[in-house]
């Protein structure tokens, strides 16, 4: 048997170069194309961030206006996809629905395998605009509510809320979702982005690469963590039960969702921004108790494990934010996917600039010259 010193989970291994996002886990820094995330979350829009990630620069006013118009022209889903969503069993997890429907979208693209920069950006616009429609249509269909068609006068965040709720979104809630979409757009070579880059490195289509990204994001150790944060908060119930719950959970080595990060050994800058944002939103939507519960959990956890570099991550306060704007718990991760597709497409564009198929080695640690045992001797 051969010994191996291969890092578990590829930790610390450099597998690609990127200019899209810079993550410094020691100092708690996240930048898109060198721009600090708090600057973008405060001053920008999700549409502008999509342009930034796909063109590697901020747009001029006329460019953003044209880009926004192109995006809104892609809001409408092909009719067969809409019909599919009405016939999927209501119990199906929305992330399974999203993965299936995105793959199906390739059937309605006349050039699904076009991986030129122009072709990829055009398909990126389709995906970032039609994924919200997929999620919203399915959510209403499973509740037996009439489907609400997109409103091209609304931005992506506002349109998502409109299609889900069937009424014009509150400006505060729409801005809150817009900020969440900005904060989740890209984050280095995370698992779903790596998956997308591996797939596109074979010169596969963007639909295949994004479908793979969605599958990776679904996992509870990646995008699915925000849903489990909300379930944990529900299980805790009230601030009075926080210490008891966390002590028992840590004694049995139960994972506390929303805490710790593979990269950040200090406060996740996205969580820092969302915490302040979540407070204002919770107060204005009658969810103050939920926010107070969240801060109590953070305080106790910081006292217990902060010295080990374990702090709230983006999932922790994004759960509170999504709940405050009325998003169903099992829709949290689809919201993440709707944002992160901008990063996936950006990385696919970047990978294709100087592509080489990703083909790492596996260290073999099994036996050699093992005998074949015939059926009657086993």
**pLDDT confidence of residue 1:** 52
What pLDDT, in 10s, does the model give residues 226-278?
898 999 999 999 888 999 999 999 999 888 888 877 777 777 888 888 888 78
Which of 90-104, 142-156, 287-301 comes out lowest in average pLDDT? 287-301
Structure tokens at 18: 């990127």
- The angle that helices 332-353 and 117-142 make with each other, rounded to 10 degrees, is 170
Q: Which of 159, 135, 289 is nearest to 214 (CA)?
A: 135
What's 35's DSSP letter?
E
**Average pLDDT value for residue range 314-336:** 90
**pLDDT confidence of residue 177:** 94
Q: Facing residues of 29 across strands?
A: 24
Contacts of 168-175 spanning 24+ positions with Cβ under 8 A:
172/281, 172/284, 173/281, 173/285, 173/324, 173/325, 173/326
Question: What number of other Cβ atoms are within 10 A of residue 111's Cβ?
Answer: 11
Q: What is the H or E stretch that residue 9 is in?
A: none
Q: Facing residues of 32 across strands?
A: 21, 35
Where in the sequence numbering do the catalytic residues fall?
222, 261, 315
DSSP conformation letters of 292-350: HHHHHHHHHHHHHHGGGT--B-HHHHHHHHHHHTT--GGGHHHHHHHHHHHHHHHHHHH
What pLDDT, in 10s, does the model give residues 152-188?
999 999 999 999 999 998 898 899 999 999 999 999 9
Domains of the chain (ranges; CATH) run 21-220+330-353 (1.10.580.10), 225-324 (1.10.230.10)
- Using CA atoms, how far apart are residues 46 and 54, in angstroms rounded to an integer? 12
């Amino acid at each position: 048997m051969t010994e191996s010193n291969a890092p578990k989970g590829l930790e610390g291994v450099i597998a690609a170069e990127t200019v899209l996002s810079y993550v410094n886990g020691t100092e708690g820094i996240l930048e898109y194309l060198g721009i600090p995330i708090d600057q973008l979350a405060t001053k920008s829009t999700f549409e502008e961030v999509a342009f930034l990630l796909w063109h590697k620069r901020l747009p001029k006013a006329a460019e953003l206006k044209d880009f926004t118009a192109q995006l809104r022209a892609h809001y409408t889903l092909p009719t067969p996809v809409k019909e599919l969503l009405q016939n999927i069993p209501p119990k199906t997890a929305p992330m399974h629905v999203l993965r299936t429907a995105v793959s199906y979208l390739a059937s309605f693209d006349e050039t699904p395998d076009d991986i030129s920069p122009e072709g990829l950006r055009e398909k990126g616009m389709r995906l970032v605009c039609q994924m919200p429609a997929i999620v919203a249509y399915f959510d209403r269909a499973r509740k037996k509510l009439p489907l609400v068609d997109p409103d091209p006068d609304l931005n992506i965040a506002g349109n998502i809320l409109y299609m889900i709720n069937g009424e014009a979104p509150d400006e505060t809630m729409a801005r809150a979702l817009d900020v969440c979409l900005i904060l989740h757009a890209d984050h280095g070579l995370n698992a779903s982005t790596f998956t997308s880059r591996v797939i596109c490195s074979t010169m596969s289509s963007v639909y295949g690469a994004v479908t793979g990204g969605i599958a990776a994001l679904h996992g509870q150790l990646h995008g699915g963590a925000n849903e489990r944060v909300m379930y944990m908060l529900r299980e805790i119930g009230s601030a009075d039960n926080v210490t008891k719950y966390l002590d028992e959970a840590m004694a049995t080595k139960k994972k506390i969702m929303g805490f710790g990060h593979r990269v950040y050994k200090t406060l996740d800058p996205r969580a820092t921004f969302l915490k302040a944002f979540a407070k204002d939103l919770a107060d204005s939507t009658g969810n103050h108790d939920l926010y107070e519960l969240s801060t109590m959990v953070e305080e106790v956890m910081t006292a217990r494990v902060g010295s080990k570099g374990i702090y709230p991550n983006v999932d922790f306060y994004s759960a509170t934010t999504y709940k405050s704007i009325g998003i169903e718990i099992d829709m949290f991760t689809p919201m993440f996917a709707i944002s992160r597709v901008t990063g996936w497409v950006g990385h696919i564009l970047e990978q294709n600039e100087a592509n080489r198929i990703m083909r790492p080695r596996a260290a073999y640690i099994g036996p050699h010259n093992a005998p074949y045992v015939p059926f009657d001797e086993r």
